[in-house]
Chains A and B, each alone.
Chain A
Amino acid sequence: MATLKELSTRAGKFSGGHRLCPGCGAGIIVRQVLAAAKNPVVVACATGCLEVSSTIYPYTAWNTSFIHNAFENAAATISGVEAAYRSLKRRKKFGLEDQEFDFIAFGGDGGTYDIGFQSLSGAMERGHKILYICYDNGAYMNTGIQRSSATPMGANTTTSPAGKKIPGKTQFKKELTDVMAAHYIPYVAQAAPSNWKDLTRKVEKALSIDGPSFINVLSVCPRGWRTPEEKGLEITRTAIDTCFWPLFEVENGTDYTINYKPKNKRPIEEWLKPQGRFKHLFKPENKHLIEKIQKHIDNRWEMLLRRAGEID
């Protein structure tokens, strides 16, 4: 596992001068992921905040090979790049016979959980040697905070607004990490940039595997979460300590490991309270919703512990 000093020597694959918002989680995640990659990288990126902010012609923040194709096809696109690599390497073209690459796709929750899900599922099932990173900020932030299937229950978004009758999003979020584990691919993990050591280790592990891997990374969006720019990682830690966002990994579909167990699992309010998107939940009439969310979190955490063999 690389130290920060080592990681810093692999810096520079994502330059400054991109136009992500101040305090954006995606920028932090990309930098950590790329620092963990030891080979030259080809990145494919789904349409979304990251892509539109990092490659505004004639500028690119990517000091790597990079391709953006469309919103829903980052996984298919990188699978095509990887197929090209296999073919050209076998055919000894462009001197690729001795050249290794890391193929990494980035997508937001919109491009991953929703519109890009079919492409992702297909690429994973086909077994390409690719790493797909979802930076999950829980809504379509690029287009102005519309709900996605990753939006947590109760969140106020522009298409699940907290109104007089409906208190924000009424559904629980899709647990995409579990869904990806159900593909029985070699490696699936959930991580967060606040825990850089865990995230970079997971990236190193994923890239060392001869097959597909998927890492779901919680990504703060100060604008969409309605949180102060500097507080992003602090709030991310509460997501982990409340078990809203457990850190875990799944190998070959069945082998679950919990990477971090909070000594004192904190109540879900601590995750919800600092975020403006959940403000309405703290009205007295919505108390039952917080209870419902807490129950859901507890059940899921217990299920994960059971899968990981931590409890019977």
Chain B
Amino acid sequence: MAQMLEIRWHGRGGQGSKTASILLGKVCSEAGKYIQAFPEYGPERMGAPVIAYNRISDERITVHCQIETPDLVVVLDSTLIGAIDVVEGLKEDGKIIINTDLEPEKMKEKIGFNGELYTIDANKISEEELGRAFPNTPLLGAVVKVTSLFTEDEFVKLIRKEFEKKFAHKPEVIDGNINCIRRAFQEVKSE
């Protein structure tokens, strides 16, 4: 891992990219890392393309701007591809994770990116575990797996604490969300 990990999340309003970035930030903070999690704000409403960011570092972060050259791009909705340039600025040795049922090879052709590309069918996982398509939770798992930020067990332990806070009023969804994370660790794949 580079000194500072910079992640850019692409999604549509309502899919939870901002929530995912904040959850990741909070978990990393709990684990003692320095973090930032912030969305790019506009007048967007439900359905419009949105962006969120994470910076994660072992040292204090002072920079306060949008991320120009991310180490990792996460695409919550593959239908965004083509509509926006999801690999803009992505480092040559960077990585991209895409929520899709397509195989990585296929996806790679589609977006013309030569670096490490991962796919995961986050909608399917989420539908099976939570009964609805919340792709952000499985993608969180995929991000942690791909970046090796934490081991699966470490991360599950940390994120469970966040879920307990976040879902204090509906604890019944916590286990489903944990399952999403665990499955993501297994099901995210590269070529």
A adjacent to B, CB under 8 Å: no
Residues of A within 8 A of B (CB): none
Residues of B within 8 A of A (CB): none
